[in-house]
Structure formats: structure tokens, C-alpha cells
Amino acid sequence: MSDLKYIRVEWDGEIAVVTVDRQDKLNALNADVLRELVEVIESLGADAGVRAVILTGAGERAFVAGADIGELARLDAVAAVRVSRDGQRVFDVIERLPKPVVAAVGGVALGGGLELALACHLRVAATRARFGLPEVGLGLMPGFGGTVRLSRLIGLGRAIELTLTGEPIDAGRARDIGLVSAVVEPATLLAEAKALAKRITRHGPLAVRTALESIYRGLDTTSADAQDFESVLFGLLVSTQDAREGMRAFLEKRKPEFRGV
Ligand code: COA
């Protein structure tokens, strides 16, 4: 990895904790932050020693307060399309990572910050977290996948309400509508996000990545095609040693030992 200015990576065993650290701007996503983020995520995706990723924001106030409004204000239409496409590609890399990515949201997740959290597979929030899409208040709209991912996660009506009012919701409401899995005290946020990741990584990595692949590929196609694909993946998994081990361990009433093959 090249020298990183805005992204920190720390390891806790097989879990990598990625922190967006641009605290003076509430971790807003400028072009450099996005470039570093995708570089880090791609390298963690390729690192066999990493089983899960936690994505969080530095400081107590923000997960990420959105795309950098100073940069957006300088764009013409053509450049804005490019920025939107580039951001979408970064978030697609996160969503398509073959290992679970958990967003640990400790403060505001606004605009591109909420869109970033949506690109993660799971979200855990601190009690003080806030979620919103304030873009319409700037005369803009979400441009990093938010108009697509939010409605898939929380339903069309709620997504339209959040997008058109631009008003943030608190962590409790986010949990109630399925936007986050859990709301925890700020001091335990990272530990809870890691605990969630570990509930996943104790299972076979091939099973986890293949289930993720089936879920996300299924969103982009018809139900019939998605189920065809699911069957093929299911068949592939059954032929792995991990699946043999998992089923044998159940029948022998012991814990499985998965090796990722
Ligand atoms: N882009 C660029 N800079 C941002 C930013 C963003 N999305 N969000 C916050 N900042 C900067 C502020 O400009 C300020 O910088 P400065 O100290 O150099 O003036 C710094 O971060 C702190 O933010 P500030 O607004 O002073 O903090 P606050 O506690 O009063 O308000 C927010 C916090 C999150 C409510 C407010 O910063 C905000 O509304 N941010 C924009 C959210 C948004 O619209 N996101 C979608 C963008 S498309």
C-alpha cells in the first residue's frame, strides 16, 4: 500500500479495522480519501489473512459527513458524472468484497457517509449516531449508490421519506427500520462490531463468501435466474472440504474445523 494520509488500518487477529481519518472535516470523502479507501479495501480483499473488515470513522462526531461539499461545488456536469461513477465504483468494491464488511457508525453518517455504510454488508451504530441524506437541501441528490441501495434495505416508502425530507434519523429509529443491526454504547462500538464479525468468521469462509455472492448477484437479476445461480453455488459449496467437515462435525456432535478449502 502506498503512503496513506486519510485511511488507517489496524489488525485484530483476522479482522482488519479500517478508519477514515479526516477529522477536521468530519471525515468527509474527498477524492484522495476515496482513492486511498479503494486501495486499502482491494488489498484487504486479496489478503488471505483477513477474514472480515470493520469500517469506521475517526473521532467521536462522525462516521463520515458525506462527500466533500467543497469539491462538489467546483464540478461541472461532466466532471460530476465522473465523480459519481468513481464513488459508485469504490462502494461497489466494498459491497463485492468476498469477506464480511461491518460499518461501525459512531457519529453522523450523512450523504455519502450513509451511502458508504449502505455499501457495507452490516452496520452497527453507537447511540449518538445519526443517519441521513441531506443532499436535497444542497440542491443535489445522492450520487454514490444511495438511491439504489437504501430502498433495497429499508423499503421504498422509508427510502423516499429519508431522501426527500433530507432529515436525519437517530440510531434507535435506524435499528427499528432495519438500517442497523444493533445500537450500542459509544465506548463499546468497535468491540461490538468485532463481535458481530467474529460471529461470522467462526463459520467457513467459503460458505460466507458464497452466500454473500448469491445474495448480491440475486439483486441484479430475475428471481428465476437468481435461484438458478443459487443452486449452482450450492452445488459448488457441497463439494468443498469445509462443507464435508461441517456436516460430519454435526453428525459426530462436535465443533467443525473449517480450513477454507
Ligand atoms: N464536506 C466538506 N466539509 C465538511 C462536510 C462535508 N460533507 N461536513 C462537514 N464539513 C466540515 C465543515 O465545513 C467544517 O469545516 P471548517 O471547520 O473548516 O469550517 C468541519 O467539517 C466541521 O463541521 P461543522 O459544520 O462546523 O460541524 P457542526 O457540528 O456544526 O455540524 C454537520 C455537523 C454534520 C451537521 C455539518 O457539518 C453538516 O451538515 N455537514 C454536511 C453534511 C452533508 O450535507 N452531507 C452531504 C454532502 S453531499
The pLDDT value recorded for residue 188 is: 98
In a domain, 132, yes or no: yes
Residues of the domain holding 136: 7-201
- Does residue 213 sit in the same domain as residue 197? no
Per-residue pLDDT, averaged over 1-29, amounts to 95
Domain count, the chain: 2
In a domain, 258, yes or no: no
Task: Report the 10 Å Cβ neighbour count for 183.
Answer: 21
> Residue 1: is its pLDDT beyond 90?
no
Q: CATH number of the domain that 230 lies in?
A: 1.10.12
What does the pLDDT look like over 192-234, one tens digit per residue?
A: 999 999 999 999 999 999 999 999 999 989 999 999 999 999 9
- Does residue 80 sit in the same domain as residue 193? yes
SS3 75: coil
The pLDDT value recorded for residue 69 is: 98
What does the pLDDT look like over 88-122, one tens digit per residue?
A: 999 999 999 999 999 999 999 999 999 999 999 99
Q: Model confidence at 49, in pLDDT bands (50, 70, 90)?
A: very high
In a domain, 196, yes or no: yes
Helices marked H in 96-204 — which ranges? 112-119, 146-154, 156-165, 171-176, 189-201
Q: Model confidence at 34, in pLDDT bands (50, 70, 90)?
A: very high
Among this protein's residues, is 36 annotated catalytic?
no
Instruction: Compute, in degrees rounded to 10, the torsion defined by CA atoms 261, 240, 247, 214.
Output: 100
- Does residue 191 sit in the same domain as residue 159? yes
- Does residue 71 sit in the same domain as residue 156? yes
- Does residue 102 sit in the same domain as residue 231? no
The pLDDT value recorded for residue 46 is: 96
Helix axis angle for 205-219 and 241-251, nearest 10°, is: 110
Among this protein's residues, is 135 annotated catalytic?
yes
- Does residue 64 sit in the same domain as residue 170? yes
* CA distances to 10, 84, 226, 254 from 199, in Å: 20, 34, 26, 18
- Does residue 211 sit in the same domain as residue 181? no
In a domain, 241, yes or no: yes
List, in sequence order, every residue forming a beta bridge with 20; answer none if it has no partner.
7, 57
* CA distances to 118, 119, 153 from 178, in Å: 11, 15, 7
- Does residue 100 sit in the same domain as residue 217? no
* CA distances to 166, 215, 227 from 220, in Å: 27, 10, 12
In a domain, 1, yes or no: no
Q: Rounded to whole angstroms, how far apart are CA atoms 94 and 112?
A: 14
The pLDDT value recorded for residue 176 is: 98
- Does residue 138 sit in the same domain as residue 230? no
Cβ(15)–Cβ(201) below 8 Å: yes
The pLDDT value recorded for residue 41 is: 98
Average per-residue pLDDT in the chain? 97
* Residue nearest (by alpha carbon) to ligand 1 atom 6: 68
- Does residue 183 sit in the same domain as residue 99? yes
The pLDDT value recorded for residue 138 is: 98
Which atom from ligand 1 is nearest to the alpha carbon of 134? Answer: 44
- Does residue 133 sit in the same domain as residue 36? yes
* 114 closest CA partner among 182, 162, 155, 49: 162
Please pick, among 135, 161, 167, 213, the residue that the annotation labels catalytic: 135
One-letter amino acid at 32 equals D
Strand 52-57 and strand 15-20: the pairing is parallel
In a domain, 223, yes or no: yes
One-letter amino acid at 190 equals L
The domain boundary residue, chosen from 201, 221, 242 = 201
Write out the three cell numbers for 59: 473521532
In a domain, 2, yes or no: no
The domain boundary residue, chosen from 159, 179, 201 = 201
Ligand 1 binding pocket includes 108 (Cβ within 6 Å): yes
Element (H, E) at 122: strand 122-126
Q: Rounded to two decimals, what is the model's pTM? A: 0.97
Q: CATH number of the domain that 146 lies in?
A: 3.90.226.10
- Does residue 181 sit in the same domain as residue 229? no
